Amino acid sequence: MIEPTDASVLVCDPHEKNRTTIVKFLSANYACKAAASFTEASELVARGNFAAMVLDSGDAESEDFISTAQFLAPETSLIVTSANESSRFVVDAFRAGVFDVLLKPFELEELEESVVRAIAKAESARSRVDYYDRLEAELIDGAAHLEQAIMGIESSYGMTLKALIQALETRDAETHGHSERVVTFSLRLAHEVGLDKDQKRDLELGAMLHDIGKIGVPDAILRKPAKLNKREWDKMKLHPVQGHRILRSIPFLDGAATVVLQHHERWDGAGYPHQLRGDKIDITARVFAVADAFDAMTSDRVYSKGRTFEDAYKELQRCAGSQFDPGVIEAFNAVPASDWEILHERSLQEKKESKSFQAVVEDLVRSHSHFEMVH
């Protein structure tokens, strides 16, 4: 005995007597809808949610409707009734995705058995869809949690690396606070150049860590008050390579490692350690090189006072096309002088300010609808 269910069945048959007989029989156990034409059936399929469909098929129009039904309701099991006894018709019907074919004349009990199996198949298909929908939602939710966890790990890495940089800077009073300042300048210049989010992230970390290779430079060289001799200078020039070796094994610092390795390369190929030329140097390293030079020129040192912005500006223009990428210098020129002055002043007060360097940069970017060079 068939147990009644809430499953819906659509019966499409142009012959009223057949249609009425089938609907009356199936209505004892299923919620049935009737359609006298393929047009009416299409409208019902588009609006409804049927587990099974009983379709009288015998002409080209019905074959077209099978394709339409498969498109509109791919999860609905389609049962075709037909007087066409050719094996070719039956094979073609199954190939078209029909669940079952009943040849006329057939018993109503035979139809009901087919409907039972068709509904079971449809419910199984829906269950799989629901399962995969839930699985997808769980994966998306899990990915969000994973991303948050990764961000937390990277944040912890960042704080650890920042502490390491501050410790390294205590070895060299000349560069105290330099890493923080070049991060700020690099991000502002990166916005003007048009770097994307990932490039800015690599640049930010690379700027913060650019001198990490100096951990391998002896104090006698790093803190020497006089000019370095050739042997000492050769050892100092190894710090980009040493820094790259430290960072390259940490996956999320891969881009930053490139900045560290290339930050002393020059546009004209006269830099170090690999004498890269032009756009063979990564754009993040080219941006950093300008920000680094600007900070070096405008910062006070133990034995000298920093240059004015005007002097630093002129020196950057002089070195465009030789030491620096001309395009990056052009972008530097487009940033208002007041931005550089504000960023420089804020960086000196970083420990007293609650706002992060990146927030300061973003505030400045938002405050300018367009940028003009002021000098």
Instruction: Check pLDDT > 50 for residue 370.
Output: no
Amino acid identity for residue 138 in this structure: E
Helix segments in 7-107, DSSP class H: 16-26, 38-47, 60-72, 87-95
Q: Residues 6 or more apart from 375 whose CB is under 8 A from it?
A: 309, 310, 313, 337
Q: Is-contact 40 18, C-beta < 8 A?
A: no
User: Which residues, at least 6 apart from 73, have a Cβ–Cβ distance to it below 8 Å?
Assistant: 45, 49, 50, 53
Q: pLDDT tens, 163-199?
A: 566 656 555 555 556 777 888 899 999 999 999 999 9
Q: What is the pLDDT of residues 40-71, one digit of tens each?
A: 888 888 777 788 888 887 665 666 777 777 77
Q: Domains, the chain, ranges and CATH?
A: 8-136 (3.40.50.2300), 170-367 (1.10.3210.10)
- Please tell me which residue, 293 or 362, carries the higher pLDDT value: 293
Residue 360's pLDDT band, with cuts at 50, 70 and 90, is: very low
* pLDDT beyond 90 at 330: yes
**Banded pLDDT at 361 (limits 50, 70, 90):** very low
Residue 374 has pLDDT above 80, yes or no: no
Alpha carbons 12 and 15: distance in angstroms, whole number: 9
**pTM recorded for the entire structure:** 0.53
Q: State the average pLDDT over residues 248-263.
A: 88
Are residues 210 and 263 in contact, defined by beta-carbon separation less than 8 angstroms? Answer: yes
Is pLDDT larger for residue 293 or for residue 83?
Answer: 293
In order, the DSSP letters of 330-360 are HHHHHS-HHHHHHHHHHHHTGGG-SS-HHHH
Residue 152 clears pLDDT 90, i.e. is over it: no
The region of weakest confidence among 206-210, 230-234, 246-250 is 246-250
pLDDT in tens, 278-316: 999 999 999 999 999 998 888 776 556 778 888 989 999
Residues in the chain: 375
